[in-house]
């Protein structure tokens, strides 16, 4: 299929470019790090600092982006319900003891309900 040759050539050129870029990067070792093209990947530093941030980030991003977590605003009881939901419905390993405290403390302090008490908006997770 001659018509596909330009595409194959472009792909080859791209691979060569990638290889050259990786080899040129100081300290780049094939086995060491995955290619640098992972723009969707999140990083704990993108989220508000606080005790337990990294633990929480890694506990939750095993399955989904942390933005899904950070866009919520809930009180501690509601966060507890979320942890339970992740555990029961989505198969998250139950957080226990100190780890659970750390995660809940961070979530409660960092992503509290956004409206003042008695405000109009009701969190959909609230079942009071
Ligand atoms: C074992 C996998 C798993 C882990 C670990 C996990 N979740 Fe989830 N979570 C899910 C799935 C699956 C969904 C629903 C699908 C989606 O929206 O991506 C979800 C959805 C959510 C939602 C949105 C709820 C909704 O109904 O829209 C929140 C909030 C949430 N997770 C919080 C957390 C927090 C906080 C943690 C870390 C403490 C966490 N999750 C860890 C699997 C997980």
Residue 115 falls within a domain, yes or no?
Answer: no
Q: What is the pLDDT of residues 80-115, one digit of tens each?
A: 999 999 999 999 999 999 999 999 999 999 999 987
For residue 50, the enclosing domain spans 44-110
Q: Which residue has better confidence, 21 or 75?
A: 75
Nearest to 113 by CA among 68, 79, 86, 66: 79
**Mean of all residue pLDDT scores within the chain:** 83
pLDDT of residue 25: 62
Residue 32 confidence (pLDDT) above 90: no
Residue 1 falls within a domain, yes or no?
Answer: no
pLDDT of residue 21: 67
pLDDT of residue 13: 73
pLDDT of residue 5: 75
Residue 24 falls within a domain, yes or no?
Answer: no
Q: Ligand 1 — pocket residues by CB below 6 A?
A: 59-60, 62-64, 68-69, 72, 82-83, 86, 90-92, 103
Give percent of the chain above pLDDT 70. Answer: 68
Q: How many CA atoms lie within 13 A of 52 on its CB side?
A: 17
Q: Which residues contact 19 (CB under 8 A, 6 or more apart)?
A: none
Residue 4 falls within a domain, yes or no?
Answer: no
Number of domains in the chain: 1
CA–centroid distance, residue 39 to ligand 1 (Å) = 21
CA–centroid distance, residue 51 to ligand 1 (Å) = 21
Q: What is the CATH number of the domain that holds 61?
A: 1.10.760.10
Query: Which residue, by CA, sits nearest to atom 40 of ligand 1?
Result: 60
């Amino acid at each position: 299929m001659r018509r596909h040759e330009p595409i194959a050539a472009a792909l080859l050129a791209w691979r060569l470019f990638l290889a050259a870029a990786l080899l040129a990067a100081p300290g780049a070792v094939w086995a060491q790090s995955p290619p640098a093209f992972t723009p969707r990947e999140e990083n704990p530093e993108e989220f508000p600092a606080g005790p337990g941030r990294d633990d929480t980030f890694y506990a939750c991003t095993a399955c989904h982006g942390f933005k899904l977590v950070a866009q919520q605003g809930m009180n501690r009881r509601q966060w507890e319900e979320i942890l339970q939901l992740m555990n029961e419905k989505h198969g998250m390993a139950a957080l226990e003891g100190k780890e659970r405290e750390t995660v809940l403390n961070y979530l409660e302090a960092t992503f509290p309900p956004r409206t003042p008490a008695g405000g109009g908006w009701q969190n959909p997770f609230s079942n009071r």
